[in-house]
Amino acid sequence: MRLVCSLDQLQLDYKVMNPNQEVIKSMDGNISMKAVVRGIDYNEKIMNFLIDDVYDTKDDHISGMIRISLPTQYFPPSFSYFNEKTRFRVNTEYFLSVDVHVDGINTSLKTTVPLTIGFEPEHITFNEVISPD
């Protein structure tokens, strides 16, 4: 699975190997946020999505791409902070989950990967941060 993100869309490239040629009923997923502030857990499902190209198939190799439009709302960046002196903790994480539903009972395969939301500076050295030039 490969994920590419612009400011308003995620592009998810997927590959599923099905060597036993089981019937794959569908694939879907969600993006969720988990935050911990002062020991209180907050969990929010931001959005659900369906991978329309995968349904009722026995193909042994399935691959494709889906573009997921993100909701137009503010999301705090991925962040972690802990102050040992005051015991104050803030942690915000995002996750992308994809479920592959196979024919039968209890036969769903779920994969979850962390997402980082925010911007990371590139090629900045310690001297560049301190120097006023």
CATH number (domain holding residue 65): 2.60.40.640
Percentages helix, strand, coil for the chain (3-state, rounded to 5) are: 5, 60, 35
Would the pLDDT of 30 be above 90?
Answer: yes
pLDDT tens readout for residues 48-107: 999 988 889 999 999 999 988 877 777 778 888 888 887 788 888 999 999 999 887 767
- Average confidence (pLDDT) over 8-34: 89
Strand pairing class (40-57; 24-37) = antiparallel
**How many CB atoms are closer than 10 A to CB 29?**
22
Q: Please return the burial class of 61, using the count of CB atoms within 10 Å of its CB with bins 0-12, 13-18 and 19+.
A: exposed
Q: How far apart are CA 30 and CA 92, in angstroms?
A: 17
- Give the count of domains, the chain: 1
**The token pair that represents 57 in the structure block:** 């198939």
Global pTM value: 0.72
Q: Give me the amino acid identity at 97.
A: S
Question: What is the span of the domain harbouring residue 73?
Answer: 2-130
pLDDT tens readout for residues 8-17: 778 888 898 9
The confidence band for 22, taking pLDDT boundaries of 50, 70 and 90, is confident
DSSP assignment of 13-76, as one string? EEEEE-TT---EEEEEEEEEEEEEETTEEEEEEEEEEEEEEEEEE--SEEEEEEEEEPPSS--P
